[in-house]
Amino acid sequence: MRDALRVLLLPKLFTARARMRSKERGRGARTAVLAVIGGVFWMFAFGVLHRLLAYFRGVPEIGPLLAGKLLGLILIAFFSILLLSNIITALSSYFLARDLDLLASAPVDWLALYSAKLLETCVNSSWMVVLMAVPILTAYGTVYDGGGAFIGLAILTFLPFLIIPAALGSAATLVLVNAFPARRTRDILSIIAVIAAAGIVVLFRLVRPEKLARPEGFRSLVDFIAVLRTPTSPLLPSEWVGRSVMGWLTGSLDLLPIYLLWSTAAASVVLGALLHRWLYARGFTKAQESSQQWAREGWMGRAGRLVLSPLGSARRELVLKEVRIFFRDTTQWSQLILLAVLVVVYVFNIKFLPLTGEGITFFIVNLVPFLNLALAGFVLASVAARFIFPGVSLEGRTWWLLRASPLPIRELLWSKFWVGMVPLLVLALAIVGVTNSLLRVSTFMFVVSVFTITLMTFALAGLAIGFGTMFPRFETENAAQIPTSFGGLLYMMSAVGVIGAVIVLEARPVYSYLSAISFRGGEPPPTAELVLGFGLAAAVCLTATFWPIRIAVRRLEALER
């Protein structure tokens, strides 16, 4: 069994080693940039938490309770993420991976297969949570003087905390695949995952956690402490980790939570293995079935072809192809649910901004929508990263068809640009329109907002196409993973750069105009300054639209696959 497990794990280790040793061009620079960004993120998370915990530590009685409550909230979020991520990853590793045909036909022991795939699922689903946990636990350990042994305790409690959701998630997937075909299960899971994530966001927002920061909202201090003392959920592994960590740090270590963690992890793995032995063969056979899906052209398809006919047959068919594939791929359209939730939360936040009352001047009321543009730009950049950036990567397996056809690369990229840009612009104008109405902005600010967000949308879509082409991920089948690549990171950085540049360039003329209107009554608005500021902002946006696509065209023309 141990030999079999070793044989099953070796290819994964060799693949990881080959990836690390790969002499791909620019790999060193890429690793360095990622290391710097990762380091900055770690330092930031550590710094913020350290400050907060140091403050808590100074508050007698309530301080440790607050720190424990915060840790409990973080751990429960981690546990939910781990459980969802393991369910989804288990579907790939146990039922859809390419090595399964080989393994299923080889005389591999069922327990070795279960263990190898469990380890693979656990590692693939947990690494990001572990990376996020490091600065958090370091901050706790440093502020509360946990000492060197705290590292050992953190590992001792975190290991079973990762194993439990992996075993539970794999078991849940096994049951689901036995109930539905694997491909249908993937669809169901992606929708469940997105709805769950959306639910968490909405719930978190509706609870308005900022209220917890104001103890004066509670009837008495006793009520407040009672709320803090109550365990969030005594039966959840996250609670056990929280109790162990805080117990160690406050000098009252209780071994029961550690015992519960390890015994539950062992029991989950054993029960998971038994379930695997009972259901896996049947589930794997079922996973080979594909759901039959028919699609006949209805009136919408005919109308679409009619409307797009002025584009010519090549562009029209490219646009129709993009739209069809998007709406037939559950992993793609289901993300729209999350997007809708994010937009609602964004508008909700704007609606509750305290913009009336004492000290709120005409100037501030007009400044907020201007800053709102930067935030809306960031939301749009994230949307473009998710929906426009992966466009070229998704053509990887069918690249032969496009390359062998007489379609010029320029047309392909511009078709992708328009298909992504038009819905993005509709979204941009809707966000800005609604938030501007909620903020009751002046006509001048309304015009500035619409002008700026339109240009920004062009730039963000152009950058997404450009960076998506310069850093393609042709082998990734899941579109949701593509924006998390190095290229995706660079795209977001450049998008933020462009948004920042536009805001900075427009800030001065907008300030001068608003000052002229609100403070200096009859003084004429500074026309030259307005033209220069807005002209430069437009030039930045147009450069960010055309330049990346030009580079992308050259890159794609030279691409050989």
Partner 1 sequence: MIQLRSLTKRYGSFTAVNGVDLDVPRGELFGFLGPNGAGKTTTLRMIAGILRPSSGTVSIAGFDLTSDPVAAKQRLGFIPDRPFIYEKLTGTEFLRFVAGLYGQSGAETERRGRELLALFDLEEWQDELVESYSHGMRQKLIISSAFVHKPEVMVVDEPMVGLDPKAARTLKDLFREYTRRGNTIMMSTHTLEVAQSMCDRIGIIQRGVIRACGTMDDLRASAEAGVSGLEEIFLRLTGEGLARELVEVLDA
Q: Which is nearer to partner 1, 50 or 324 (CB)?
A: 324
Q: Which is nearer to partner 1, 155 or 402 (CB)?
A: 402
Q: How far is the CB of 345 from partner 1 (least distance, A)?
A: 30
Q: How far is the CB of 197 from partner 1 (least distance, A)?
A: 24
Q: Which is nearer to partner 1, 279 or 320 (CB)?
A: 320
Three-state SS at 247: helix
Considering only CA atoms, give the Rg of the chain. Answer: 27
554 is a contact residue toward partner 1 (CB under 8 A)? no
Q: Which is nearer to partner 1, 398 or 518 (CB)?
A: 398
- Tokens 């946006």 belong to which residue? 541
Q: How far is the CB of 326 from partner 1 (least distance, A)?
A: 9
187 is a contact residue toward partner 1 (CB under 8 A)? no
Contact 383, 455 (CB under 8 A): no
Q: How far is the CB of 105 from partner 1 (least distance, A)?
A: 17
Q: Which two tokens stand for residue 521?
A: 């009554």
- Tokens 């390890």 belong to which residue? 262
Residue 329 has what DSSP assignment? -
**CA 313, 316, 319, 325 torsion-angle sign:** negative
Q: Which two tokens stand for residue 90?
A: 């288990």
Q: How far is the CB of 182 from partner 1 (least distance, A)?
A: 12
Pick the stretch among 59-67, 194-202, 219-227, 319-327 that binds partner 1 (CB under 8 A).
319-327
Neighbouring CB atoms inside 10 A of 371's CB total 11
Q: Which is nearer to partner 1, 63 or 181 (CB)?
A: 181
Q: How far is the CB of 6 from partner 1 (least distance, A)?
A: 25
Q: How far is the CB of 294 from partner 1 (least distance, A)?
A: 5
Q: Which two tokens stand for residue 118?
A: 């469990």
- 416 φ/ψ angles, rounded to the nearest 5 degrees: -65, -35
416 is a contact residue toward partner 1 (CB under 8 A)? no
User: What mask of x and - would describe binding to partner 1 in positions 320 to 339, judged by CB under 8 A?
Assistant: xx--xx--xx----------
Among 15, 31, 230, 313, binds partner 1 (CB under 8 A): 313
What does the longest C-alpha to C-alpha distance in the chain come to? 89
Instruction: Please give the size of the binding site for partner 1, defined by CB under 8 A.
Output: 36
Q: Which is nearer to partner 1, 187 or 529 (CB)?
A: 187
Which DSSP string do the residues of 66-132 spell out, in sequence order?
Answer: HHHHHHHHHHHHHHHHHHHHHHHHHIIIIII-TTHHHHHHTT--HHHHHHHHHHHHHHHHHHHHHHH
317 is a contact residue toward partner 1 (CB under 8 A)? yes
User: What mask of x and - would describe binding to partner 1 in positions 293 to 312, judged by CB under 8 A?
Assistant: xxxxx--------------x
Q: How far is the CB of 45 from partner 1 (least distance, A)?
A: 39
Q: Which is nearer to partner 1, 298 or 522 (CB)?
A: 298
Residue 392 to residue 64: CA distance in whole angstroms:
51
Cα dist from 123 to 86, 90, 113, 306, 485, whole Å: 9, 11, 15, 50, 18
558 is a contact residue toward partner 1 (CB under 8 A)? yes
Neighbouring CB atoms inside 10 A of 256's CB total 11
407 is a contact residue toward partner 1 (CB under 8 A)? yes
186 is a contact residue toward partner 1 (CB under 8 A)? no
Q: How far is the CB of 478 from partner 1 (least distance, A)?
A: 13
Contact 87, 189 (CB under 8 A): yes
Neighbouring CB atoms inside 10 A of 257's CB total 21
Torsion of CA 175, 478, 134, 159, to 10 degrees: 20
Contacts of 350 (CB under 8 A, 6+ apart): 372, 435, 438, 439
Q: Which is nearer to partner 1, 235 or 404 (CB)?
A: 404
User: What mask of x and - would describe binding to partner 1 in positions 228 to 267, judged by CB under 8 A?
Assistant: ----------------------------------------
Of 539, 531, 540, 537, nearest to 513 (Cα)? 531
User: What mask of x and - would describe binding to partner 1 in positions 145 to 184, judged by CB under 8 A?
Assistant: --------------------------------------x-
Q: Which of residues 376-405 bind partner 1 (CB under 8 A)?
A: 397-405
Among 22, 292, 356, 443, binds partner 1 (CB under 8 A): 292
Binding residues for partner 1, per CB under 8 A? 183, 290-297, 312-314, 316-318, 320-321, 324-325, 328-329, 397-408, 558, 560-561
